[in-house]
Amino acid sequence: MIIEFLGGCDEIGREAFLVKDKNTNVLLEYGVELQPNIKLPLLPAVKIDGFFVSHAHLDHSGMVPLIYKFQNPTLYATPATLDLMNLLLEDYIKVAGLTRGFSEYQKYDIAKMNKNFKPCFYNQKFKIGNLVAKLFDASHIPGSASIYISGSKSILYTGDINTISTYLLDYKEINYPEIDCLIMESTYSEREHPDRKIEEKRFIKKIREYENGLVLLPTFAVGRAQELLLMLYSNGIKREIYLDGMAQKASDIILYHKKYINDDRILKKVLKRVNFIRTKKQRDRIIKRGGIVVTTSGMLNGGPIVYYLKKVRNMKNTCLLMTGFQAEGTPGEKLLRTRYFENCESKFKVNIEIQKFDFSAHAGRSGLFKLIKRIAPKKVICVHGENTKKFAVEIREKLEIEAIAPKIGEFVEL
Amino acid sequence: MIIEFLGGCDEIGREAFLVKDKNTNVLLEYGVELQPNIKLPLLPAVKIDGFFVSHAHLDHSGMVPLIYKFQNPTLYATPATLDLMNLLLEDYIKVAGLTRGFSEYQKYDIAKMNKNFKPCFYNQKFKIGNLVAKLFDASHIPGSASIYISGSKSILYTGDINTISTYLLDYKEINYPEIDCLIMESTYSEREHPDRKIEEKRFIKKIREYENGLVLLPTFAVGRAQELLLMLYSNGIKREIYLDGMAQKASDIILYHKKYINDDRILKKVLKRVNFIRTKKQRDRIIKRGGIVVTTSGMLNGGPIVYYLKKVRNMKNTCLLMTGFQAEGTPGEKLLRTRYFENCESKFKVNIEIQKFDFSAHAGRSGLFKLIKRIAPKKVICVHGENTKKFAVEIREKLEIEAIAPKIGEFVEL
């Protein structure tokens, strides 16, 4: 079995791994790196027999339609992943066209992708050529999966994975089969998360401080937005909540695929209470009246949050509470560091209170180590991280398991 | 000025360098790696303002049409390069379809490429956005160029370059402008070529040894085939010469672009004398009668040479004289090493005499060092080689010039 690393190794973004075994070629992920600049993975130069996407986030799925410009491989993913991907991919085309003047794929490529989709369900074995595959729940976002492939060797690719329960998703320990090689996400290999309950209390307390003011909650559309809504509801926040931007459609899709989430009845109830915002007029009214705004984008690259921020940057009784990972070089990260918002269009100082909270959907450092220990693979390949090399060294030293951190363009033979 | 390395750094094949300066993006080359497996460069994720191809060989041009699936950048190259590219790219589509079942681009992408072509001529300055560009003769194959780009810094990309005259191409020392950064091909950074005159004598002597037999000369279609024909003619070889495979069309194109070559009248005369072969019947007749066969492909991956070799592998009074670089893992390299021919279809022992000659169209080790010394850049970036890292160390030590050997996916800021 050969694994080629087409992208997403010592970086977060453009995940793409090609598995070649027993005359069968399987592509795991085909993502795009968005932050701070768009970067694409290497194109696979072989006929793909099976194409897997672990979950809908663009760093894992953003270039999937590009493959359908050349080939028609069957796409294996959960139905929730496909629907969420469609939302995010169409948005990618729109944003790419606006910001760069071109997109790597068009809507008809997405249509071709959809035509080749085969729905997959957790814990069900199926065949791809001469290999066997199985998806496991990864508890990262609705529909997210870890991917198991078995041929001359067996591998498990974690995808983005969480090992604790959240409001949106329940975590249950999984009994993985025996694994020769674990391809491991490493997002938080260097950091522990703060205690989630304490973090949540701090968050809710801060929201209550602005009871009569405006609270801006920039967020990723898929997963985090719904988690925040559930968190507000569960903590008895009774104020008006406004949902703006792509998080609206994402919420609808997640509610439709209700079997992936913890308790769809609560989410349904919450979404009924929430006001969906679509126009500038509505936004201006909210800015005047106050309330809680849950809106995209999570790293402040675009979306309605930029409009709000520009308008309220000097407004009293207003705060910005950031709850997601801020990649280096993004407007969100720069704002936290400098208190200046800056994108390609404008730069301004933001004088409202800004706070950062950690409600990550990734396993933290000790969660990752525990997971490796429990799976006990013969070898670990660290990917999807900012310091995968260091993580590999630590795995070798602490767990005495062979571990490597390949680079883009390299390959490994198992 | 930023240079991003999309491919072709510590390897020979998939050359692709993105130059970003003064709000202008220039793509230098977009090649494919064919040996031993197809490998593609990273896709540029920015709008390309100018697209340069140094010469027609597929390791420099093989993925150019792929860019036209997404963008319509103006393509700058010599007219000879464009015509030779068309020949090689159409063949790539055909071979890719036959061997893998798909090609990364189709004929309509080539048509789009042709539509965006702007002919360039040696030593003529022109503007690309906020940058200035100029091509210099690289003496590698007809139409081949080194590419000079000037903006906030000045760079010269050698392309594949030769520093001696051959039968086909005259070498004249070029007065380059002042260069901040030299992007240097490194094909022969570790090897000197044997004396060309002595090598030629050995070659002609060997051909004369098989005066009544069959001499097979597998060769690259573009450049080498014509050089061999001229060499045979200049050494008074009067036997029947057969030209088979893509070298026929390549010869016609080169003759049409006569201003790029040394003496078109001689090539015209030579090509008139040569018999063009198209059918298996003709091939079988030649095998019976004997003669000199100049045919593709140079590394024995495909083309008529495979047919000949299979038929004559045990034939008396027959020899195979290889005159081109044999990349590791190619049938040609394996044959030299093991005396077995092996491709995806068949494997057989070859019992005829096999000899290897060096008529390279690349500067040898000392030629490369001399060139760097003469250009005297502030910095050298070593690309297009199998050991660019070692070459960079040697440049630093021997010439006391800053030198680096980047990897795919990396970038350099000048």
Among the residues of B76-155, which ranges form H helices?
79-100, 107-115
User: At a CB cut-off of 8 Å and minimum separation 6, what does B210 contact?
Assistant: B290, B317, B318, B319
For chain A, positions 382-411, list CB contacts with chain B under 8 A. 407-409
Q: Is A397 left (phi over 0), alpha (psi -120 to 50) or beta?
A: alpha
Interface test with B, best of A5, A39, A51, A108 (most B CBs within 10 A): A39
Q: How confident is the model at residue B386 (pLDDT cuts 50, 70, 90)?
A: very high
| Cβ contact B38–A47 (<8 Å) | no
DSSP assignment of A368-383, as one string?
Answer: HHHHHHHH--SEEEEE
pLDDT of residue A35: 82
Q: Which residues of A touch B408 (CB under 8 A)?
A: 408-409
pLDDT of residue B36: 82
Q: In b/e form, how buried is each residue of A260-271, taking b as 16+ CB within 10 angstroms?
A: bbbeeebbeebb
Which segments of chain A have a pLDDT < 50?
none
pLDDT of residue B283: 98
For chain A, positions 41-70, list CB contacts with chain B under 8 A. 41-43, 45-47, 69-70
CB A192 within 8 A of CB A230: no
- A16–B contact, CB cutoff 8 A: no
- Between CA A325 and CA A332 the distance in angstroms is 9
Among the residues of A44-106, which ranges form H helices?
58-61, 64-67, 79-100
pLDDT of residue B162: 98
Location of structure tokens 């491709």: B343
Continuous segment of H or E residues that includes residue B370: helix B365-375
CB A50 within 8 A of CB A67: no
| Cβ contact A45–B101 (<8 Å) | no
Min Cα–Cα distance to chain B from A70, Å:
6
- Between CA B386 and CA B83 the distance in angstroms is 29
Closest CB to A100: pick one of B42, B43, B46: B46
Phi first, then psi, for residue A88 (nearest 5°) are -70, -35
Among the residues of A101-162, which ranges form H helices?
107-115
Min Cα–Cα distance to chain B from A151, Å:
22
Among the residues of A25-75, which ranges form H helices?
58-61, 64-67
Q: Chain B: residue nearest A409 by CA?
A: B408
- Between CA B221 and CA B213 the distance in angstroms is 23
Q: How many CB pairs below 8 Å do chains A and B form together? A: 50
Question: Does ipTM exceed 0.90?
Answer: no
The pair of structure tokens assigned to B128 is 């690309």
pLDDT of residue B328: 85
Min Cα–Cα distance to chain A from B310, Å:
27
The pair of structure tokens assigned to B114 is 């042709």
Q: Which residues of A touch B37 (CB under 8 A)?
A: 45
CB A364 within 8 A of CB A193: yes
- A236–B contact, CB cutoff 8 A: no
Closest CB to A101: pick one of B37, B47, B101: B47
CB B66 within 8 A of CB B76: no
CB A20 within 8 A of CB A151: no
Q: Which residues of B touch A98 (CB under 8 A)?
A: none
B298-333 tens-digit pLDDT: 999 889 999 999 999 999 999 999 998 898 889 999
- Between CA A159 and CA A261 the distance in angstroms is 18
Burial class of residue A328 in the structure, from the number of CB atoms within 10 Å of its CB (0-12 exposed, 13-18 middle, 19+ buried): exposed
Min Cα–Cα distance to chain B from A39, Å:
6
Q: Which residues of A touch B39 (CB under 8 A)?
A: 42, 45
Domains of chain B: 2-191+362-413 (3.60.15.10), 196-356 (3.40.50.10890)
B133-170 tens-digit pLDDT: 999 999 999 999 999 999 999 999 999 999 999 999 99
Q: What is the mean pLDDT of chain A?
A: 96
Q: What is the mean pLDDT of residues B199-207?
A: 98
| Cβ contact A104–B43 (<8 Å) | yes
CB B85 within 8 A of CB B61: yes
Instruction: Give the CA dihedral B108, B110, B113, B117, nearest 10 degrees.
Output: -120
Phi first, then psi, for residue B364 (nearest 5°) are -80, 180
| Cβ contact A43–B45 (<8 Å) | no
Min Cα–Cα distance to chain B from A239, Å:
43
CB B302 within 8 A of CB B95: yes
The pair of structure tokens assigned to A296 is 């995209």
CB B300 within 8 A of CB B306: yes
